[in-house]
Amino acid sequence: MRIGDRVFAGLSSGAAAFVILLVLLVATFLVVKSAPSIGKDKVNFITSTEFDPGHLRFGIAGLLWVTVIISVIALLFAVPIAIGIALFVTQYAPKPIARPVAYIVDLLAAIPSIIYGIWGAFELSPKLEPVQKFFSHIPIPLFDLKLSRGTIFDGAVVLSVMILPIITAISRDVFERTPRANIEAALALGATRWEMIRMAVLPYGRAGVVSGAMLGLGRALGETIAVYLILSTVGKFSFSVFTGGETFASKIANGSAEFNDPSSTGAYIAAGLVLFVLTFVVNATARAIVNRRKDFA
């Protein structure tokens, strides 16, 4: 092996080892700093919806529900739109149109989170009130109308716009890499353009779409400023998406004034530990799904 190859291999291995070490150090810090407060917790840390670090009564059930449901709803909104944009750019639109469309979508990723938060709180929320009132007529707890603005639904719509560029970019890149032989074979058998996309493009790009969706989900789980500005803080926990609440990230940001006390700080670090584990599980699940799709591709 040439010396250049050895140096490159060593640098690559060192970089990979450094990333793993960094993740382990972050996990160790979160566990060490949060363990004393969790041990002194006066309520069940997993099942309680109460969060009062000052009196050592804190649970993550409510935060976990809001974090997961707002991210899942955002994913349900963003993925179909992202796939549609990616297919339009790669399979339907001529190049003079496809490139500007792709460029404009990519520009959404450059908008700061605080701008999304201000837009969602003052412009989007009032316009979503009729939508919430319409769905509130469905007699299930998930659509029980508690607030008209600053709801989980409002935050999910904004998050869907924020994660749209990530999912679109990855889906577009995967669809563009569909082997030309597969496309021509489908067309040669008499398939229409949509049938060709359904039989050749979508199956080939499925793993990439899943990867993009999981990356978008990871972004949604950890978003702080936009969610902090949009969601109204409510005292009583509810399963409705038409109420306010707090995610792990927004709760930590909102409680930064209490970081002067080690016990209350440990409660917030414990919330950060759960968010860390949740994000890790999402990424690991995505990797497992992608690897399984590749085995059957």
- CB neighbours (10 Å) of residue 11? 10
- CB neighbours (10 Å) of residue 291? 10
List 133's β-bridge partners, or say none.
none
Write down the pTM of the prediction: 0.89
Q: Does a structural domain hold residue 289?
A: yes
Q: Does a structural domain hold residue 191?
A: yes
Residue 258 has pLDDT above 80, yes or no: no
Contact 161, 75 (CB under 8 A): no
Mean pLDDT, residues 195-212: 88
pLDDT-derived band at 65, boundaries 50, 70, 90: very high
- Give me 243's structure tokens: 């109420």
Mean pLDDT, residues 128-156: 90
The confidence score (pLDDT) of residue 61 equals 92
The confidence score (pLDDT) of residue 5 equals 84
d(C-alpha 98, C-alpha 109), whole Å: 18
Could you report the per-residue pLDDT of 32-55, keeping only the tens digit for each? 999 999 998 899 999 999 988 888
Q: Does a structural domain hold residue 71?
A: yes
d(C-alpha 252, C-alpha 177), whole Å: 41
Contact 91, 193 (CB under 8 A): yes
* Chain centroid to CA 230: 16
The confidence score (pLDDT) of residue 189 equals 86
DSSP state of 241: S
Mean pLDDT, residues 228-234: 89
Mean pLDDT, residues 178-184: 89
Q: Does a structural domain hold residue 130?
A: yes
The confidence score (pLDDT) of residue 4 equals 81
Number of structural domains found in the chain: 1
Q: Does a structural domain hold residue 46?
A: no
Mean pLDDT of the chain: 89
Q: What are phi and psi of 260, to 5 degrees?
A: -80, -15
Mean pLDDT, residues 213-240: 88
Residue 270 has pLDDT above 70, yes or no: yes
The confidence score (pLDDT) of residue 293 equals 59
- Give me 54's structure tokens: 């000052």
The confidence score (pLDDT) of residue 32 equals 93
The confidence score (pLDDT) of residue 1 equals 65
The confidence score (pLDDT) of residue 296 equals 42
The confidence score (pLDDT) of residue 64 equals 94
Residue 145 has pLDDT above 70, yes or no: yes
The confidence score (pLDDT) of residue 63 equals 93
The confidence score (pLDDT) of residue 125 equals 92
- CB neighbours (10 Å) of residue 204? 17
Between 202-222 and 61-87, two packed helices, what is the crossing angle to 10 degrees? 140
Could you report the per-residue pLDDT of 188-203, keeping only the tens digit for each? 888 888 899 999 999 8
DSSP state of 50: -
Q: Does a structural domain hold residue 2?
A: no
CATH of residue 87: 1.10.3720.10
End-to-end Cα, the chain, rounded Å:
34
- Give me 138's structure tokens: 């469905």
190: left (phi over 0), alpha (psi -120 to 50) or beta: left
Q: Does a structural domain hold residue 11?
A: no
Residue 297 has pLDDT above 70, yes or no: no
Q: What are phi and psi of 57, to 5 degrees?
A: -130, 90
Give the residue numbers spanning the domain of 174. 62-296
Q: Does a structural domain hold residue 275?
A: yes
Contact 270, 242 (CB under 8 A): no
2-16, 68-82, 198-212, 259-273 — which one is most confidently predicted on average? Answer: 68-82
